Structures are given as structure tokens and as C-alpha cells.
Amino acid sequence: MKAARVIGQNELTVEKIEKPILDKEKNILVKTKKVGICGSDRHILHGTNPLATIPRIVGHEVVGVVDEIYGDTQLNIGDHVVVEPIRPCGECYACSQNRPNVCKNLVVFGVHEDGGMREYFSINEKQLHKVDNNLSFEKSVLIEPLTIGAQATSRGNLQDGDTLLIQGAGPIGLCILRYAKLKDVKIIISDLDQSRLDYAKEQGADITINVKEKDLISEVNKITNGEGVNVSIDAVCIPKTFELSILVASAAGRVVVLGFDEQPANIVQMPITKNELTIVGSRLQTYKFTEVIKNMENGKFDDFDLVTHQFELSEATKAFEYIDKHPEQVKKAIINFN
């Protein structure tokens, strides 16, 4: 079978590998159908993901079909499944606090172990979630990124009546937007790219701010009559946007950070203490797959046409290059497996 593997910085190869053999630990063989290309996959390829190890078969936004089973399981051959990419140890402090997504010994599919950008993969059934076979693979491949949106809004304790700012109208910002729309909230979203903001407006954003043309703090103050936003989520993830996310937050506001940038930000204490802000990180997800799948199957995201580009496995290198060269054109690119 074939797989796309990162073998070094900016080096990706499509190569032949052995088909996995099942055992009691990895008891399900999945035939891959579609894999979404995430920003973290690109960071692995470019050597800028501090958590990844290479060589690595990337891909954690994965949907497929159960092809073979080892032993007893709740799944059946032919079931459509989506991968939950985290494998926690179950023994560390974070796990004891019901926070397996930040397990001290966490193994992430496609980051610390080989992922789904291959024709078949073996995995433990605990990391698979069944989805309705009538749901298209093009839709179900969005379930994992939507869990990131579910996690971020949950970490921000988003409530009906809140005003939310999302910095960044890329794929993750849009997933946060769509999940936030499940509540009765006012949503502001900012970006440098007007076409992305236009799409965000189509997807339910109440107000868009092009920060290439307008000052974010001034605009937020105008919109909120000087109060600030109740929840501020940074989906751009650079030091400057982290700084801004704090400065635009209201008293008793919540700031949610998704970035892994290791560069320091210039953060002052005054607004944090004066407004008694809650600043939290948001990584991956904790138990969000079930609710996302339910919402997906109930039609909540039927009009969320995030996938704009599709490539075959043989075109994997081309796919990554295209996203790098034309980021303004790509909302979500996926790899197809026929």
C-alpha cells in the first residue's frame, strides 16, 4: 500500500509500505477515505512543529471504513468511522483530572505516531467513533476540526448573550465560528484577508473587521460601547494577536489561546488583574466527538462547505505546495483515497 511520509524538513514522499497487521492493542483496520490537511501537518513538513517527531506519516483529520477486526468489538466491518487522534496514558495528573488531551505522555496520531495519510491504518477501537453511513466523507472529514471549535468555545465558557471575538478566519477560526453559532451569541471575527471575512459573514459572523484597514481595539470598543468582548479567542496564534486578545477583553472576560508559538509576547499585568480575566489554553479536545457527530448528523453543519480543494494521494506533495503558495484560495484541502 502507499503512504505520504514526511522524511525531513520540506521533504515529503509518497512511498510503498507494508499493510498493517492487527493485534489486541490495535484491533481495527481502517481503509482510509479522506484526510484533511491541517496547519499542524504543514508545520511538521516545514520543521516548525515543536511537538512532532519525524520521519512521520502525517494526518489526523481522518475518516474511513472498518475493513478488518481483531477479536470482539462494538464496531462492524463496513462501519464509517472518524479518528479521535489522542491516546493518553490514563495515569498522569492530567488524566486523573479528566483532561486526557494534555496528558503528560500523550501520543497524537499523525504527530507522535504515524497518522492517517496512508491507504490503511490499524488503531485501537477506543480511538474510533462511528458515524452515520449516509453522511458523506466530505462532511465527516470536518468532524475533527469542528471538535477544536467545540473545545475552544467550551474552554471560553461561551454563554448565550455573550459577545465573542475570533481573531483569524482560517479553517480553525471558521470551525470556532460555526460551533459558537450553536449558541445565541454575537460574533465578531477579524482577519487580514477580505475574502475570508466575506466567507465568515456567510457562515454567520455578525461583524467582520479587516485589521489591514482598521484598528482592532478601536473597532471592538465602538462595537461594544467600550465594554470589550466577553470571550476572546486567538486563532491566529502569534504573539501580537495574543497581546490583542487580552486588551479587547471585557471585565470578567475569558481569553482562549490555541497557539504553540514559542516567541514571547509583551503582556502587561494591569488589564488581567483589573478585569480579573481568565486566560486559558485550548488544545485538541476533551470528549467532544460525540456531540460534534450528533450535531453533524442532525444537519447543523449541512451548509458548512469548508472543503475547497481535493487531491489524490499521489498528489500529496503538490497539495502541500499549493496551500503554501495560495493560502488565500484554500479554506480546507483534503487528500482522497479511492
The pLDDT, as a whole number, for residue 338 is 81
Residue 74 clears pLDDT 90, i.e. is over it: yes
Task: Name the CATH superfamily, with its identifier, for domain 2-142+306-336.
Answer: Medium-chain alcohol dehydrogenases, catalytic domain (3.90.180.10)
Handedness of CA 241, 206, 199, 132 (dihedral sign): positive
Q: What's the pLDDT band for 328 if we cut at 50, 70, 90?
A: confident
Q: Provide the pLDDT for residue 261.
A: 84
Q: What pLDDT, in 10s, does the model give residues 209-268?
A: 999 999 999 999 999 999 999 999 999 999 999 999 999 999 999 999 999 888 999 999
> What amino acid is encoded at 284 in this protein?
L
Q: Which residues of 218-252 are buried (b: 16+ CB within 10 A; e: fewer)?
A: ebbeebbeeebbbbbbbbbbeeebbebbbebbbee
pLDDT digit string, tens, across residues 281-303: 999 999 999 999 999 999 999 99
Indicate the average pLDDT of the chain: 97
Beta bridge partners, 309, equal 333
User: Which pLDDT band, with edges at 50, 70 and 90, does 50 fall under?
Assistant: confident
| Over residues 93-113, mean pLDDT | 97
257 DSSP 8-state letter: E
- Report the C-alpha gap between 309 and 300 in whole angstroms: 22
pLDDT of residue 51: 85
Q: How far is CA 44 from the centre of its chain?
A: 15
- DSSP code at position 26: S
pLDDT digits (tens, 9 = 90+) for 119-147: 999 999 999 999 999 999 999 999 999 99
Report which of residues 328 and 311 the model is more confident about.
311
pTM to 2 decimal places: 0.95
d(CA 35, CA 118): 9
- State the pLDDT at residue 49: 87
For 180, the grid coordinates are 459558537
DSSP line for 88-144: --S-SHHHHTT-GGG-TT-EEBTTTB--S-BSEEEE-GGGEEEE-TTS-HHHHTTHH
Q: CA–CA separation, 224 vs 250, rounded Å? A: 9
Could you tell me the three cell numbers for 121? 491504518
Q: Is the pLDDT of residue 2 over 90?
A: yes
CA distance 282 to 323: 25
The pLDDT value recorded for residue 13 is 97
Domain extent listing, the chain = 2-142+306-336, 149-281
Instruction: Name the band, by pLDDT with cuts 50, 70 and 90, for residue 34.
Output: very high
- Is pLDDT above 90 for 317? yes
Answer for the pair 75, 28: CB distance below 8 angstroms, yes or no: yes
Report d(CA 248, CA 266) in Å as an integer. Answer: 15
- The share of the chain scoring above pLDDT 70, in percent, equals 100
Third-level CATH fold of 149-281: Rossmann fold (3.40.50)
The residue-averaged pLDDT of 306-311 equals 96
